[in-house]
Amino acid sequence: MSDAAENEPEEDVEIDVDDLAPATFSGGNNLDQLMPVILFFGFRIVLGNLVLAVVASMLWSIKAAIGRHRRGLRIGWFLPGVAVYLLVRAGLTIAVEQERIDLGVSADAVYFGFGIIGKILIGIGCALTIFAGRPLLGWLIPKVVPLSDEVLAHPRYKRAMAGATWVLVAFELLTSVWDIWLYNNSGLGFFFLTRSGVNFIVSFGFITGALMYTDRTLDPIPEYPGLTHVLEQSGRLKS
């Protein structure tokens, strides 16, 4: 990168590295991932109450975002952004369910459609950061794992982060296409359970592939200690 100083990790900041890889099991972070799914399944699929399902999932998701902020993750505008997104999603879903507005689709389609559109926008946004020369993961990684200034300033770092961000783009867009196809070709219960299970497995595969690619790309940098050391230093891998 042209200006290594922009990549220096901020001092006196504690980062919960569990927020980096949402597909892994790790204590409270894992519970925060699973509870919205469990609550929605219980209230909507089992009890048949969409309003309660939406409200319960929304409240837990907001609680999880606030928890990440309190644990030290510097998410800045992300916290209010998530809250607004969840409130709008819930509000429109409930309004359609109670027939206060007519969008031409079911309330379930509104709820899941918001999530699909969100993933598409994230994918497009990540691609734009690559085209702008500042890939999203190049900004995010130094906030969650310890890397030296020499590694952050090396041209290979920017190349690796661009490639890893492309992996994120592919995941968001491909799973969005899958979600749309599945929703249109299955019942609600089957869609919900299959989508949750498949997306979990696919996300694990994409994360593993991105880590392997990044490690191989950064390996020729003399100051890069290797993926195992980086994960141990960040607390992700126990020796």
pLDDT tens-digit series, residues 93-141? 888 888 888 888 888 898 889 889 999 999 999 999 999 999 999 988 8
Q: Can you read off the two tokens belonging to residue 226?
A: 């290797």
**Distance from first CA to last CA of the chain, Å, rounded?**
32
Q: How far apart are CA 78 and CA 218, in angstroms?
A: 29
**How many CB atoms neighbour CB 113 within 10 A?**
19
CA of residue 158 relative to chain centroid, distance: 21
pLDDT reported for residue 223: 86
pLDDT reported for residue 46: 66
Q: Can you read off the two tokens belonging to residue 121?
A: 């926008």
Q: Which residues of 200-229 are buried (b: 16+ CB within 10 A; e: fewer)?
A: eeebeebbeebbeebbebbeebeebeebee
Q: What pTM does this model have?
A: 0.72
Which residues of the chain fall below pLDDT 50?
A: 1-28
Q: Name the DSSP letter for residue 26.
A: -
**How many CB atoms neighbour CB 49 within 10 A?**
14
- DSSP H helical segments within the chain, as ranges? 27-40, 50-70, 78-97, 107-131, 136-144, 149-153, 155-184, 188-218, 227-234
Q: Which candidate, 106, 155, 125, 114, places its Cα nearest to that of 7?
A: 155
pLDDT reported for residue 78: 55
